[in-house]
Amino acid sequence: MDRSSLLQLIQEQLDPENTGFIGADTFTGLVHSHELPLDPAKLDMLVALAQSNERGQVCYQELVDLISSKRSSSFKRAIANGQRALPRDGLLDEPGLGVYKRFVRYVAYEILPCEVDRRWYFYRHRSCPPPVFMASVTLAQIIVFLCYGARLNKWVLQTYHPEYMKSPLVYHPGHRARAWRFLTYMFMHVGLEQLGFNALLQLMIGVPLEMVHGVLRISLLYLAGVLAGSLTVSITDMRAPVVGGSGGVYALCSAHLANVVMNWAGMRCPYKLLRMVLALVCMSSEVGRAVWLRFSPPLPSSGPQPSFMAHLAGAVVGVSMGLTILRSYEERLQDQCGWWVVLLAYGTFLLFAIFWNIFAYDLLGAHIPPPP
């Protein structure tokens, strides 16, 4: 029986008067008597949801959301306030798991702060579609770096090569009218050290986040950090170019770290304090390196070196937009008031940055280096 037939049967037999509510015990009997193909984990969640209701009933729309693998904020609150927590044992007690399932369990404990959410993710996770966005971005960045490294015969501090800034991918203030550069600069990197740092974080943090929260949400967060990075540089460091995917990387990392801090007691990832300190030290060191290269270039250059402001802009996007996304696991973002506030703030910033790039450079008489 498919999903639509199941929902039609439930409504006809359990809610013929269209009251909008269904008794949990009656529904459980229907499942067993008709051998309906409902995930046992979902059935457990239904019972927990009903137990949080004084009359032992569940809203029909909540049942539809559950069967459709979509949970509203009211559903999550009902589960959290239920008389019994889902489920009986922790995921760490699951025996006989294969390699991939153990990896899925590892991801659940790395990313999610609540045991209910971890079990929900573990039992409904499917390997298709795979987390293709972060892997594809990382692969594309490596390919572009190898191509330019072979072409320029330079693998470290590539930005000092006179031909590097001529790339159509680099953001340069003299080429602001070429709007694609505000995003495509993420494929270019200063050198092997920056590429290695970004690629490592994208795979270690970005891929697990994409597995849990999906390609749409994580790609939106990453690209929002990238775009905010170049636009922030165009406002605060008007003479500087930008290269590297640090805006998107710092958006992902800052969102994840902020989510861990805000859910510290519920996170079950091992050595979380040590890992938090190491992550902050590495991220701060990368920002410090970018500041050093911007203001004290170790080699003679024909113009300003890439700005570090994209790192900071990405971190701000991560703490604001990213934290809202990560805290809304399996909830509809459009139902979250905070999501609309964040979107409004980001949209206001975009409009301001667009007008700034159109008018401010001429009005302020900014002396930008000639485009390569």
Q: Which of 167, 230, 234, 246 is catalytic?
A: 246
Angle between helices 246-262 and 309-317 (to 10 degrees): 40
Strand partners, 23: 57
Q: Distance between CA atoms of 276 and 317, rounded to whole angstroms?
A: 19
Contact 75, 66 (CB under 8 A): yes
Please, how many CA atoms are within 13 Å of residue 169, restricted to the half-sphere of its CB?
19
246 is catalytic: yes
Contact 237, 173 (CB under 8 A): no
Q: Which of 172, 189, 213, 311 is catalytic?
A: 311
48: Cβ contacts below 8 Å, ≥ 6 apart: 78, 79, 82, 83, 84, 85, 86
311 is catalytic: yes
Name the one residue in this structure whose structure tokens are 């604001």.
Answer: 320
| Token duo for residue 113 | 């702060």
| Token duo for residue 238 | 């008007």
Whole-angstrom CA distances from 168 to 30, 40, 152, 159, 226 are 62, 53, 15, 14, 17
Q: Distance between CA atoms of 78 and 343, rounded to whole angstroms?
A: 27
| Token duo for residue 87 | 């489920």
Contact 9, 34 (CB under 8 A): yes
Contact 132, 291 (CB under 8 A): no
Q: Distance between CA atoms of 349 and 250, rounded to whole angstroms?
A: 18
Q: Distance between CA atoms of 154 and 367, rounded to whole angstroms?
A: 30
Backbone angles phi, psi at 58, to 5 degrees: -130, 140
CA quadruple 179, 182, 186, 190: dihedral, nearest 10: 110
Q: Distance between CA atoms of 59 and 50, rounded to whole angstroms?
A: 9
- Residues acting as catalytic residues: 246, 311
